[in-house]
Amino acid sequence: MFQTARYISLFIILPLIILPLPLLLAADSAPDPRKPAAIETEGVPPVPAELQAKLAQYQNMRAAGFSGWDPAGKGILVRTRFGNSLQLHRVYEPGGRREQITFFDEPVDGGFIPGTKDEEILLSMGSGGNENNQIYFLDRKNFKTVLLTDGKSRNSIQAIRKNGSQMIIGSNQRNGRDTDLYIADPRKPGSMKMLMEVKNEFWSATDWSKDGRTLALIRTVSANESYPALLDVKSGKRDDLPPVTKEKASYGPMAFAPPDDTFIYCVHDALGEFAHVYSLRIIGNFGQIFDLAPQVAWDVSGLKVDDKSGQVAFSVNEDGASKVYVMANPLLKEMPVVPMPWNPRELKLPLGIVSSLEFSPDSKHLGFTLARPDAPADAYSVELENGKLTRWTYSEVGGLDPASFVTPTRIRFKSFDDREIPAHIYKPRSASEPNRAPVLINIHGGPESQAQPYFTGATQFYVNELGIAVIYPNVRGSSGYGKTYLKLDNAEKREDSVKDIGALLDWIAQQPDLDKNRVAVTGGSYGGYMVLASLVNFPDRIKAGVDAVGIANFNTFLQQTSAYRQDLRRVEYGDERDPKMKAFFEKISPANRVDKIKSDLLVVHGKNDPRVPFAEAQQIAAKVREKGRPVWTVYAANEGHGFGKKENVDYLRAVEVMFLKKSFGIE
């Protein structure tokens, strides 16, 4: 199952999440037998064997993601890990064994090619975290794996024709910067042909019409701004769809509507604060548009249309948790002049986060990944006629008692402008007024991501074994709370989101069972910047911080990030080539304010990171050390924007625990 950039699979994201924190011990004085060969450290003591043993159960939890139905109706494909990295597995019946079918050192993603009865699979895989993904054809019938791309550039699988005969590949092979669209046979190497050359823009193909003549495209400018279009595959002529309003809006995903592609379904926020799913006539009375679920008060986050029955399924992100709705084909009859009361049916699912929606080949079931707050993610399906829920995988929890797991509570706290900031808190059962719990604040990246109540072994370890409360805030600029909220941290408003962390510190100080004097912050990517900015702005209120693949200086980051990302990031953060913006970045960048940092610091980075260059970690670590502050560094030669290999993740988690225990004075 393949998804466009805005709707990334859960299992691409989770391995990159880094949890946290600090200390002052002697630098590495002896070899550490538990440190992987690709890891380089400074200031980090050896990991004690007893700590490694205590962490083992939490580190050997597993999760599984739904990756598609077998076109022949013989089961499903899932993505899970039994070795050192995520691989693809076949499951032939609910609760059945997981048969591993890919065996690479690197994490693999992929899905079945539609329109075939054979087990033909497309794979996507990079190397060492460099994100230069290559695409492979896996022929299970003939036991062959064939490279389809050039082996060097950055490639992504986009729309696949419904009969499986052609696909669209986004690739920067032409100049290393622009992502052009190519048409290719998914089974033949060397078949890539330029379909649409792109210059200084970012386009992606989201769906292919039933007759194969037209592609639905989206041009992404930022999280707040994108534009839909249709492309004639034969002539290459592109028709931009007229804007619904004069205001900038975000579009995607899009899908053609069976049976005749007269309409297209599109998720967008052009007509309100939240993104809804609309039908748009593209043939005949062009421009006729209807909201299929006007009663929904949150963002539609996922959309799937069944090519055979015309059924529509969509997921809604309601304050961080998912609801899923299904409706019969709304377009079996001519679209009326006035909207119909469609009233899509809500599926009764356990509380959690749903992704990777897909109808079964017989149109009778809907498959998906369900990540519950009290258990690892697994693959599920629901029978559409009667709502019966089926669990396909049962991921292991390391032999721990599931009843011991702590579930989060939703909270809201007021910030400097009286705006309420949403968050989730995992609180240890031992927390009380005489036994105040130390606090770890985990700040998401993006910056337009959203912290949702995912289950992780790391959080459960901190809460249950160390008695630490873990808070996941959604500071301004986070997605999921409307387009106005999403824009509140743009450009010169960047530090307003840092002020939200200050407001959270105020909230912590008011809680009788939390210890305001023992607070640490952690975050990855943009969250790493937020960590460093918090240490700079609140030096006396934070004990320590973990900066994972974070931005230390916006000017150097924007100048050195991979060329294909620069324009998108400049729209979000601001353009450092503008003298005023450059001066603003110089003012707020933590690397220029290290004299304010009093907390201990752990810096984590993959040397192959194409998003936030490794130099960002090097400069912040060096500058803080120059000021006499203790810094631990953990660098991986075989990782990129986050750690994805189990041996590296396990080692890093042990380092973080040592760091945290020292900082908080936990024995």
Whether the predicted pLDDT of 13 surpasses 70: no
Spatial CA neighbour of 180 closest among 201, 208, 160:
201
pLDDT bin (cut points 50, 70, 90) of residue 212 is very high
Residue 280 φ/ψ, nearest 5 degrees: -130, 120
435-450 pLDDT, tens per residue? 999 999 999 999 899 9
138-170 pLDDT, tens per residue? 999 888 999 999 999 999 999 999 999 999 999
pLDDT bin (cut points 50, 70, 90) of residue 301 is very high
pLDDT of the residue at 261: 87
pLDDT of the residue at 26: 37
Whether the predicted pLDDT of 295 surpasses 60: yes
34: its two tokens: 């538990």
Spatial CA neighbour of 23 closest among 553, 557, 544, 527:
544
For 83, residues 6+ apart whose C-beta sits below 8 A from its C-beta are 646
358-374 pLDDT, tens per residue? 999 999 999 999 999 99
Query: In which order are the strands placed within the sheet that holds 76-80?
Result: 64-69, 76-80, 87-91, 99-100
pLDDT of the residue at 284: 66
Whether the predicted pLDDT of 331 surpasses 90: no
pLDDT of the residue at 20: 37
16-66 pLDDT, tens per residue? 333 333 333 334 446 788 899 999 999 999 999 999 999 999 999 999 999
pLDDT of the residue at 8: 29
302-313 pLDDT, tens per residue? 999 999 999 999
- Sequence letter at residue 582: K
pLDDT of the residue at 351: 92
pLDDT of the residue at 539: 96
pLDDT of the residue at 280: 87
Q: Report which of residues 582 and 8 the model is more confident about.
A: 582
Give domain limits for the chain.
33-59+399-664
Q: Taking the CB of residue 465, how many other CB atoms lie within 10 A of it?
A: 15
Q: Report which of residues 250 and 284 the model is more confident about.
A: 250
Q: What is the mean pLDDT of residues 77-89?
A: 93
Whether the predicted pLDDT of 556 surpasses 80: yes
Spatial CA neighbour of 233 closest among 321, 142, 161:
161
pLDDT bin (cut points 50, 70, 90) of residue 328 is confident
Q: Report which of residues 342 and 167 the model is more confident about.
A: 167
pLDDT of the residue at 287: 67
- Could you tell me which residues are beta bridge partners of residue 264? 256, 280
Query: Percent of the chain having pLDDT more than 90?
Result: 80
Q: Report which of residues 354 and 14 the model is more confident about.
A: 354
Which residue's entry shows tokens 């890093």?
Answer: 652
Q: Is the peptide bond before 447 cis (omega within 30 degrees of 0)?
A: yes
Query: In which order are the strands placed within the sheet that holds 365-371?
Result: 353-359, 365-371, 378-383, 389-391
pLDDT of the residue at 286: 64
Whether the predicted pLDDT of 293 surpasses 90: no
Q: Range with the lowest mean pLDDT among 7-21, 179-193, 270-284, 546-560?
A: 7-21
- Could you tell me which residues are beta bridge partners of residue 205? 217
580-597 pLDDT, tens per residue? 999 999 999 999 999 999
Cα(545)–Cα(519) distance, rounded to whole angstroms? 9
Q: Report which of residues 323 and 282 the model is more confident about.
A: 323
- Sequence letter at residue 181: L
- DSSP category for residue 491: G
Whether the predicted pLDDT of 337 surpasses 50: no
* Domain 33-59+399-664 -> CATH class: alpha beta
Spatial CA neighbour of 102 closest among 72, 143, 63, 65:
143
- Cα angle: 36, vertex 37, 38; to 5 degrees: 95
Cα(534)–Cα(624) distance, rounded to whole angstroms? 15
Helix (H, G, I), strand (E, B) or coil at 466: coil
CB 312 within 8 A of CB 265: yes
Cα(648)–Cα(84) distance, rounded to whole angstroms? 9
Whether the predicted pLDDT of 114 surpasses 60: yes
494-527 pLDDT, tens per residue? 999 999 999 999 999 999 999 999 999 999 999 9
Cα(555)–Cα(575) distance, rounded to whole angstroms? 9
- This prediction has a pTM of 0.91
Buried b (16+ CB within 10 A) or exposed e, 240-254: ebeebeeebbbbbbb
164: its two tokens: 């499986």
Helix (H, G, I), strand (E, B) or coil at 46: coil
pLDDT bin (cut points 50, 70, 90) of residue 245 is confident
- Give the CA count within 13 Å in the CB-facing half-sphere of 328: 6
Q: What is the mean pLDDT of residues 464-492?
A: 95
Q: What is the mean pLDDT of the chain?
A: 91
358: its two tokens: 């897909």
DSSP 540-605: TT-SEEEEES--S-HHHHHHHS-HHHHHHHHHHH--TTSHHHHHHHHHH-GGG-GGG--SEEEEEE
Helix (H, G, I), strand (E, B) or coil at 170: strand
Cα(151)–Cα(274) distance, rounded to whole angstroms? 40
